[in-house]
């Protein structure tokens, strides 16, 4: 059921064209943050307005749309964004990663490998990887243009000297094609390796901060590290309690008043698919 | 045994239904009409129009009703609506000298051409709760007098004749449009004023107040504050001249600020400017003070590191729709990131624990 008082996918065509230009520029300069005239959307800033604008700009009536938040299709904000596009674009939706043509995500990259022809749209709260080292946009833009990333390495080094480890567990900074340092959005660093050499197009939208950036297919993306302290993706050291997967990112769920806990896949589609294929974990019903 | 939680969709539906019921309140109490809000909560309507950047009292009143009186929520509704509207063109600059003033005061002169007009103001009311209002009564009537037709000259022009105040040079550069272009720094004064006109009233007030208390003090006098209706004119290409397309009420504040001169500018009075939709004088005065503080660079003043002098700080944090959205988004699930933090803290504690034991052994 579409709401025909609004244009297809809510935004007017002029706005979509402006956003597509920003996306194309972003694809041409991987990892570079392109300023764009973000619109007020009918959902609050910070709730995925950047991702929604990017999805609206790339969406066609033939697309099959999937939305995940924390890896799950049924978290409240994922439900809300999915129903927004069902209502304003009338596109088909799916929860199956392999069937989706456009996937909007917050905080995760799906476990199933993405393929050519798919677009992964990230919701980004703070697009600037240097922001918490330097609060001024005028300064950080200069640092990017001069490729002046020493501050970031110093921060990571200080982590190691203080804690023995790099104390960043999500939104872990990456370098794109040896040039721009980029914030991969607040995905757990477990997901970082999936950014690199990915056959799908990856688009990042930050609505409130008015920035779009992109990774074209098969872009080389390297998580920042040191030779003697190599980057290591991490996850809870357990198999999934429902499907038994050993290699997926896990949520820790508290199941009783005594603080008993089990670990289950954060990617609900991945977990359900494995269970349907007959895999069982120790906590499965 | 564990079954993953489902049912986000149903939960959202039910939450919305409950919200709608709460919005209406006790059905035994008569429902508020949009016209009642527009007429009797006019200052709330004005604030929503100003910060929503859309002059439409009926729509603003409806938004207030829908938002249950939460004005920032109402402003959000208006913003999200306005962004979908087609843009037919740009009006000619409004002429506030031709304003039909409801209120016009100057703090810098005892009397002046056009006179001091108090208008419908809370100033000089004693803030005593009027219990008579709790009982519905007759509509109060104020005495009337003949309006003085003709332009009301700006106070600033009198000072300008003596050359005592900085010249406000006319500038025909089309102003940038914050709602169509991303904010880029350094921001011109036109862009800063645009951002301030839709900035949160409380934030602007707080910043303005901070300048009065010494954080980039600029000694403001209210040169003039005027509130009233002005004509909006637009040039129609087919006609080749501007025609009046409507009338809006605005509040305009011009401050006169003491200035002892700098390396580049002679001693003279300087200006701060505020212009806001509707009767919104607290906001307009605040805007003028913040505008003046932000002008430190062009006037060759020192940057004393005050928040109100910092254009990037002010412009990036003044918009309440951006601020409230980002603030409130921390209510959304963050358990994936929290999980990775849990793993990290456990790992760091293991390392720290091991180190601690080593030290104890030595």
pLDDT in tens, A220-238: 999 999 999 999 998 888 9
**A74–B179 CB contact, under 8 Å:** no
Q: Is the dihedral of CA A23, A27, A200, A147 positive or negative?
A: negative
Mean pLDDT is lowest, of A1-5, A208-212, B31-35, B148-152, for A1-5
Structural tokens at position A219 = 């872009």
pLDDT digits 0-9 by tens, B13-40: 999 999 999 999 999 999 999 999 999 9
**Cα(A255)–Cα(B324) distance, rounded to whole angstroms?**
33
Tokens of A121: 């749209």
- At residue B76, the pLDDT reads 96
- A-chain residues near B322 (CB < 8 A): 45, 208
| Amino acid A1: pLDDT | 42
Q: What percent of chain B has pLDDT over 70?
A: 96
Short-list B261, B279, B281, B277, CA closest to B269: B261
Q: Is residue A245's pLDDT more than 60?
A: yes
The A residues from 194 to 223 touching B (CB cutoff 8 Å) are 208, 210
Tokens found for residue A215:
């990774």
Per-domain residue ranges of chain B? 2-82, 96-121+148-324, 332-361
Residue B358: per-residue pLDDT: 54
A280 class by beta-carbon count within 10 Å (0-12 exposed, 13-18 middle, 19+ buried): middle
Using the Cα atoms of residue B71, residue B60, residue B105 and residue B320 in order, give the sign of their dihedral. Answer: positive
Dihedral class, residue B69 (left if φ above 0, else alpha if ψ from -120 to 50, else beta): left
CB-count exposure of residue B305 (10 Å: 0-12, 13-18, 19+): exposed
pTM: 0.88
* Cα A121 to Cα A231: distance, rounded to the nearest angstrom: 25
Q: In this structure, are residues B159 and B269 in contact, taking their beta carbons and an 8 Å threshold?
A: yes
pLDDT category at B2 given cuts 50, 70, 90 is: low
The Cα diameter of chain B in Å comes to 95
Among A138, A208, A251, beta carbon nearest to B335: A251
- Put simply, whether B305 touches A (Cβ < 8 Å) is no
Contact A136 B312 (CB under 8 A): yes
Active site residues of A: 31, 240, 243, 265, 271
A160: its two tokens: 């190691």
Question: What integer best gives the mean pLDDT of chain A?
Answer: 93
CB burial of residue B86 (10 Å; 0-12, 13-18, 19+): exposed
Taking alpha carbons only, the member of A21, A18, A49, A84 closest to residue A214 is A21
- The reply to whether A28 touches chain B by the CB within 8 Å rule is no
Q: How many CA atoms lie within 13 Å of A24's alpha carbon, on the beta-carbon side?
A: 7
Q: Are B64 and B33 in contact (CB under 8 A)?
A: no
> For B16, which residue in chain A has the nearest alpha carbon?
A80
Give the containing element (helix H, strand E) for B38.
Answer: helix B34-40
pLDDT at B354: 64
Tell me what pLDDT residue A3 has.
Answer: 54
Inter-chain contact A285–B341, Cβ cutoff 8 Å? no
Exposed (0-12), middle (13-18) or buried (19+): which is B146, by Cβ within 10 Å?
exposed
Per DSSP, helices labelled H in A115-206 are 137-145, 150-163, 192-195
**pLDDT-based confidence at A100, cuts 50/70/90?**
very high
Torsion angle in degrees (nearest 10) through CA of B304, B306, B309, B314: 160
- pLDDT tens-digit series, residues A27-80: 999 999 999 999 989 999 989 999 999 999 999 999 999 999 999 998 889 999
Does B332 touch chain A if contact means CB atoms closer than 8 Å?
A: yes
List of residues 6+ apart from B276 with CB closer than 8 A = B50, B197, B250, B251, B283, B284, B287
Give ipTM to 2 decimals.
0.82
Please answer yes or no on whether A125 and B83 come within 8 Å at the CB atom. no
- Give the residue from A18, A46, A52, A163 with the most B CB atoms within 10 Å of its CB, the best one to mutate: A46
Hey, which residues does B235 pair with through a beta bridge? B242
Which residues, numbered 79 to 138 in chain B, qualify as contacts with chain A under a Cβ-Cβ cut-off of 8 Å? 79-80, 82-84, 86
Contact (CB<8Å) A45/B326? yes
* Interchain pair A255, B2: CB under 8 A: yes
- Would the pLDDT of A261 be above 50? yes
At B21, give phi and psi (nearest 5°): -65, -45
**pLDDT of amino acid A4:** 63
Question: Which tokens belong to B84?
Answer: 């979908």
Tell me if residue B72 falls in helix, strand or coil: helix
């Amino acid at each position: 059921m579409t709401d025909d008082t609004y244009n297809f996918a809510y935004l007017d065509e002029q706005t979509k064209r402006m956003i597509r230009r920003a996306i194309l520029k972003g694809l041409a300069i991987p990892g570079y943050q392109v300023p764009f005239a973000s619109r007020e959307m009918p959902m609050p800033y910070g709730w995925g307005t950047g991702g929604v604008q990017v999805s609206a700009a790339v969406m066609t009536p033939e697309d099959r749309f999937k939305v995940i938040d924390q890896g799950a299709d049924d978290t409240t904000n994922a439900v809300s964004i999915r129903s927004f596009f069902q209502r304003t674009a009338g596109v088909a939706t799916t929860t199956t990663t392999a069937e989706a043509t456009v996937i909007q995500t917050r905080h995760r990259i799906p476990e199933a490998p993405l393929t050519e022809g798919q677009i992964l749209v990230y919701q980004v709260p703070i697009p600037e990887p240097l922001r918490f080292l330097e609060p001024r946009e005028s300064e950080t833009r200069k640092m990017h243009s001069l490729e002046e990333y020493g501050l970031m390495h110093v921060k990571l080094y200080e982590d190691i000297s203080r804690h023995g480890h790099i104390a960043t567990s999500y939104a872990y900074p990456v370098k794109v094609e040896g040039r721009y340092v980029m914030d991969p959005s607040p995905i757990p660093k477990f997901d970082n390796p999936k950014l690199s050499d990915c056959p799908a197009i990856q688009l990042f939208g930050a609505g409130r901060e008015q920035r779009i950036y992109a990774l074209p297919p098969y872009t080389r993306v390297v998580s920042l590290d040191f030779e003697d302290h190599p980057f290591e993706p991490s996850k809870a050291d357990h198999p999934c309690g429902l499907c038994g997967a050993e290699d997926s990112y896990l949520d820790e769920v508290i199941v009783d008043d005594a603080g008993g806990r089990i670990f289950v896949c954060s990617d609900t589609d991945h977990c359900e698919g494995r269970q349907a294929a007959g895999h069982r974990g120790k906590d499965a019903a | 045994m564990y079954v993953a939680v489902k049912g986000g969709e149903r939960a959202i539906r039910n939450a919305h239904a409950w919200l709608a019921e709460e919005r209406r309140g006790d059905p035994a109490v008569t429902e508020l009409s949009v016209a009642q809000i527009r007429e009797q909560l006019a200052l709330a309507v004005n604030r929503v129009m100003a910060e929503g950047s859309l002059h439409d009292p009926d729509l603003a009143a409806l938004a207030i009703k829908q938002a249950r009186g939460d004005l920032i929520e109402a402003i959000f509704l208006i913003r999200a609506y306005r962004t979908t509207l087609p843009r037919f063109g740009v009006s000619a600059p409004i002429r506030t000298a031709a304003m039909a003033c409801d209120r016009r005061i100057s703090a810098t002169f005892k009397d002046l051409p056009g006179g001091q007009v108090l208008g419908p103001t809370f100033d000089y009311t004693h803030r005593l709760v009027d219990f008579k209002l709790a009982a519905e009564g007759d509509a109060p009537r104020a005495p009337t007098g003949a309006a003085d037709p003709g332009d009301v000259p700006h106070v600033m022009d009198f000072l300008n004749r003596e050359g005592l105040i900085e010249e406000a040079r006319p500038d025909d550069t089309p102003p940038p449009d914050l709602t169509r272009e991303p904010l880029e720094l350094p921001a011109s004064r036109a862009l800063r004023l645009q951002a301030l006109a839709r900035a949160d009233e409380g934030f602007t007030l707080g910043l303005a107040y901070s300048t009065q208390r010494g954080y980039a003090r600029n000694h403001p006098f209210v040169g003039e504050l005027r509130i009233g209706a002005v004509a909006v004119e637009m040039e129609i290409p087919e006609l080749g001249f501007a025609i009046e397309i409507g009338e809006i009420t605005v509040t305009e504040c011009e401050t006169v600020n003491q200035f002892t001169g700098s390396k580049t500018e002679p001693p003279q009075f300087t200006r701060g400017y505020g212009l806001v939709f509707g009767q919104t004088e607290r906001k307009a005065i605040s805007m003028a003070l913040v505008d003046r503080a932000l002008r430190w660079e062009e006037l060759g003043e020192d940057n004393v590191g005050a928040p109100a002098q910092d254009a990037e700080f002010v412009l990036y944090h003044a918009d309440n729709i951006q601020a409230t959205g980002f603030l409130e988004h921390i209510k959304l699930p963050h358990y994936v990131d929290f999980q990775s933090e849990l793993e990290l803290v456990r790992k760091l504690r293991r390392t720290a624990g091991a180190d601690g034991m080593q030290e104890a052994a030595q």
